[in-house]
Structure 1
Amino acid sequence: MIPIAPIFVRSKEILEQLSSLLDEERTAYGKQDSEVIIDLSAKKQTLLDEMNQLNEKRVNILIKFDIVDRKKPTEEAFKDWLSLQDSSMDNVRLLMQECEALLKTCKTKNNTNARVLNTLQKRNKHLFELLQGHSSKNKVYTARGSTRPISSKHTLGRA
């Protein structure tokens, strides 16, 4: 029997932890707690690194047992092989389905957090420009064709 069930078990644990961290991250964005956000980012990166190592290990096992093509291993080839196996691989099928569902949940949460972060960044940039005396209406073109705000100290009205 191919020893991939433990890999899926650990992958499921990682995805559950990642989902929890993404929930914590969203809360931290709401509280605008930068220390917690940085700490959570480091924890997420550690989990993602371990997940990548597990995926490499899984692919290497599948190549070793000649389940997927050595030159171009694909997830579809593994799924096709798995669908042809008897009931002894039901636990692997179930773990794989659970991992896919968790991965979809994590992607949704991550995209939501990215939108929240983007909104916060835009708001903070706007507030910073206001503090500097810039206005989104007072912009000039640079030599490269982009725009930049001009300071209220240098406007025509102050001349």
Structure 2
Amino acid sequence: MIPLAPLFVQMKESLEQLLEVLSRERSALATATADDILQLAAEKKSLLDTIESANQKRAKMLIKFGVVEAKAPDFVFKDWLAQQPATMDDVKQMADACNELLEQCKKENFTNARILSTLQKRNKVMFETLQGHSRKNKVYTASGNTRPVSSKHTLGRA
């Protein structure tokens, strides 16, 4: 019997922690707390490294036991797991739970990325306003590129 259960337990726990970190990240993005955001990004990276390591161990183990080939281990693994007897039900349930958690994490991360993108755009516009630049007021340079027209009456100089 292949000892997959401990790896899936580790991945499930890491995915649950990642989901919690993503939730805290959303709160940090709402308050725009830079230090918290950087700390949460480091936590996310650590958890993702842990998940990736466990997934690589799983793939190597399955290849070693001849369950899958090195070319496409995930697709073959799902079929192989579905054909296993009831003694592997705990692994099947953990694999399903990991897939569900992974989808939730992807959704949360996508939402956080959209929030971050919106914040970056807003900050860029505010910075340009302070500098006296406008996206609409641009002139052509000698090389044919465009550059913003700066104003002598910027808020930053006031």
Q: Structure 1 stretches (4+) deviating beyond 6 angstroms?
A: none
| 1:148, distance to aligned residue in structure 2 (A) | 3.6
Identity of aligned residues (%): 53
| 1:74, distance to aligned residue in structure 2 (A) | 2.4
Partner of 2:3: 3
| 1:136, distance to aligned residue in structure 2 (A) | 1.6
Counterpart Cα distance in 2 of 1:110 and 1:91:
28
Partner of 2:65: 65
- Work out whether residues 7 and 58 of structure 1, in 8 Å CA contact, stay in contact via their aligned partners in 2: yes
Q: In the alignment, residue 111 of structure 1 is paired with which amino acid?
A: F
Partner of 1:124: 123
| 1:95, distance to aligned residue in structure 2 (A) | 0.1
Q: In the alignment, residue 41 of structure 1 is paired with which amino acid?
A: A
Q: What is the Cα-based RMSD across aligned positions, in Å? A: 1.5
The answer to whether the aligner puts 1:108 opposite 2:107 as a matched pair is yes
| 1:137, distance to aligned residue in structure 2 (A) | 1.2
Partner of 1:80: 79
Distance 1:101 1:138, change over 3 A: same
Counterpart Cα distance in 2 of 1:39 and 1:6:
28
Calculate the TM-score normalised by the size of structure 1.
Answer: 0.91
> Deviations 1:99-149 (Å, cap 9, x if unpaired)?
00000000000000000000000000000000000112112346475x442
Q: In the alignment, residue 121 of structure 2 is paired with which amino acid?
A: K
Counterpart Cα distance in 2 of 1:73 and 1:6:
22
Partner of 2:20: 20
Counterpart Cα distance in 2 of 1:62 and 1:118:
40
Q: In the alignment, residue 12 of structure 1 is paired with which amino acid?
A: K
Partner of 2:156: none
Partner of 2:91: 92
Distance 1:10 1:144, change over 3 A: farther
Q: In the alignment, residue 6 of structure 2 is paired with which amino acid?
A: P
